Amino acid sequence: MSEMFSIKLPDGSVREVEAGTTPADIAAAIGPGLAKAALAARVNGEVRDLNRPLEGDAELQLITARDEADALELARHDYAHVLAEAVQNLFPGTQITFGPATEDGFYYDFAPKDRPFTEEDLPAIEEEMRRVIARDEPLVREVWARDDVRAFFESQGETFKAEWVMELPADETISMYRSGRWMDLCRGPHLASTGKLDPDAFRLTRVSGAYWRGDQKNAMLSRIYGTGWLNRKQLDAHLIRLEEAGKRDHRKIGQEMDLFHLQNEAQGSIFWHPKGFMIWRVLEAYVRRRQDEAGYTEVKTPQLLDAKLWEASGHWGKFRENMFVVPDEVPGTDPDKPVLAGTGNLMALKPMNCPAHIQVFRQGIRSYRDLPVRLVEFGALHRNEPHGALHGIMRVRQFTQDDGHIFCTDEQVESESIAFCELLGSVYRDLGFADFQVKLATRPEMRVGEDAVWDRAEANLEAALKATGLAYEILPGEGAFYGPKLEFHLRDAIGRTWQCGTLQLDYQMPDRLDASYVAEDGSKRRPVMLHRAILGTFERFIGILIEHHAGRFPLWLAPVQAVIATIVSDADDYAKEVLGLLTAAGIRAETDLRNEKINYKIREHSLAKVPNLLVLGKREAEQRMVALRPLGSDARQEVLPLEQLIERLKREATAPDLRG
């Protein structure tokens, strides 16, 4: 008699099935509609192939297109495999490496036989992908021995796959997926067949270079990116979002508004122009006021710190390749005196502020009565990002963070976490972001500290997060090397998400750098260290603001809040008087007295996203009136008395935290 398994379904019912039964069999038994709609299965919480036999008693959920997150992940993974098969069909001798799903699509890295791929190759590859989909080949999972996988790929000339498989643990189950005669090494899961993909719901988007395993010392590969969806309607909506994102590109708008520029002589650093730096100053002043009100103390710490401090903190071992390192003195030529870390010979530009803030905390004797201590710094940081990773002002090498650290007791973690989350939510709302998600990132593979300490840190941070009442999801393995963290992902005007704020719980660094306080019983104890940021990187956040508002900043953030434009030269003196009164009222204003037609001036200042154009002619000058023309094609011009206009702009230009 065959072995029987008990399979519990989401509605609470239980089915008794024979060993060897697949989720596809159960879907068919429930009904033909579900059998057709089912894409994969969640077995005891793990997403698996629909045709993979059940291995014992289990809870089973059948995944359909209604389970959009899971369905998209599966489809994008399959699009990547179809891409790899199509490329090898068209370009024999090309080696395959890896191709994961991404947030909006997928990519695959290839080692071409003859030449790197270019974007001119993409249309032909797309057509071949559609032919692969049309063949509707089953995607069949096979379990292989590691040595057999290596032998297979070596026989195919696939040196990259042969290298990778031998680095997998010897006891790990290794799965291969077959699509007709084509095979790839993959953990899965996959859809039942290539025909489950919509041939009209994907688009290949671009080609770039990528190093094998992300190491510049390794071979350069060709990476082909694509976007993939469940149906054509979703693809079209995504392409519209991309078009809108192009219009909102912070680099384009930054040039139009004269905010900043970038140049090769300062790779990864920004030249802020007066108008761009005005946004910075206003934003910094706002955040400073909010943090002052929340009980933070602002500090300023050195840019250069000795390598021995970075060794003690753990950054030297985990973060060294991203640090800019300089000799403390110009090294001599004596081979008996090499430059070594930890000897005082090397210093590094700080990539983060936390070790320096611990040094501030350690000055003097701290009592439990002093806690919590909340230190914050608008700290300039440097990280040696690869050239290919740099992107406008969103990804740079020199940047500033609203970086803070809270030193507290275990008992204070919950209240401090709640207070921080409330502050962060309030700041985001003031800046126009009402919608944000919270994610709990847990221990990564490369970390410092013992598992017992990580267990405690993750449990305490999750308990604090639950106390905030915020919904959250878990990101396994995405924590910092010294502790778990909360990530705050805000959503912009066109639906994109950006990870900005963070709250990280750290037991490691206070211990490594000997931070302590005197407890109520007189004993010496380590504080808990909460690393926190709201905006994250100023440069990146300003880029997000530019794209979110499409350059049309709220009046309080706009670099120029009003331009006074004259129609005739007879109004020039009145324009200068208006400028003086606006400036005295705290309004950032400029005049445009050029001998140009008013329509030309309107077009130019509209392109520069000036919120208010104050048009002055002879009549306005005589009557001490102002014609107000707000930014926007549907905005109507109003004629107002000068004093009334000034009061109105003054009220509208007040920062949210200063409004009555």
Closest by Cα among 492, 542, 656 to 280: 542
Task: Establish whether 405 is a catalytic residue.
Answer: yes
Question: Which of 251, 531, 601, 609 is flagged as catalytic?
Answer: 531
Question: Which of 198, 306, 403, 492 is flagged as catalytic?
Answer: 403
Question: Which of 70, 161, 223, 354 is flagged as catalytic?
Answer: 354
Task: Establish whether 354 is a catalytic residue.
Answer: yes
To the question of whether residue 382 is assigned a binding role by annotation, the answer is no
Task: Establish whether 357 is a catalytic residue.
Answer: no
To the question of whether residue 250 is assigned a binding role by annotation, the answer is no
End-to-end C-alpha distance for the chain, whole angstroms: 79
Task: Establish whether 391 is a catalytic residue.
Answer: no
| Tokens (6 digits) for 618 | 């002879």
Amino acid found at 585: A
Query: CB count, 10 Å around CB of 573?
Result: 12
Element (H, E) at 179: strand 174-179
Task: Establish whether 383 is a catalytic residue.
Answer: yes
To the question of whether residue 387 is assigned a binding role by annotation, the answer is no
DSSP class of 53? P
Three-state secondary structure string covering 210-266: EEHHHCCCCCEEEEEEEEECCCHHHHHHHHHHHHHHHHCCHHHHHHHCCCEECCHHH
CB 232 within 8 A of CB 110: no
* Measured torsion, CA atoms of residues 57, 59, 65, 70, in degrees rounded to the nearest 10: -100
**Residue 58 main-chain phi, psi, to 5 deg:** -160, 160
Cis, peptide link before residue 189, omega less than 30° from 0? yes
Judged on CB neighbours under 10 Å (0-12, 13-18, 19+), 206 is exposed
CA 433/CA 168 separation, integer angstroms? 43
CB 26 within 8 A of CB 15: yes
CB 591 within 8 A of CB 563: yes
Three-state secondary structure string covering 220-233: EEEEEEEEECCCHH
CA 410/CA 292 separation, integer angstroms? 24
Query: CB count, 10 Å around CB of 60?
Result: 20
Residue in the block written with tokens 């950032």 = 588
CA 106/CA 535 separation, integer angstroms? 29
CA 522/CA 383 separation, integer angstroms? 41
Question: Which of 405, 447, 496, 512 is flagged as catalytic?
Answer: 405
| Tokens (6 digits) for 79 | 């699009």
Residues composing the chain: 660
Question: Which of 61, 95, 291, 401 is flagged as catalytic?
Answer: 401
How is the beta sheet containing 182-185 ordered, strand by strand? 139-144, 174-179, 182-185
| Tokens (6 digits) for 526 | 């380590």
Query: CB count, 10 Å around CB of 44?
Result: 14
Residue in the block written with tokens 């300490």 = 453
| Tokens (6 digits) for 88 | 């090898």
CB 184 within 8 A of CB 176: yes
Judged on CB neighbours under 10 Å (0-12, 13-18, 19+), 32 is exposed
**Residue 298 main-chain phi, psi, to 5 deg:** -85, 140
| Tokens (6 digits) for 358 | 């611990």
| Tokens (6 digits) for 380 | 């300039």
Query: How far, in Å, are 42, 95, 110, 300 from residue 219 at the CA level?
Result: 38, 12, 11, 43
Active site residues: 354, 383, 401, 403, 405, 485, 531
Q: Which residues are annotated as a binding site for Zn(2+)?
A: 354, 405, 531
Q: Which residues are annotated as a binding site?
A: 354, 405, 531
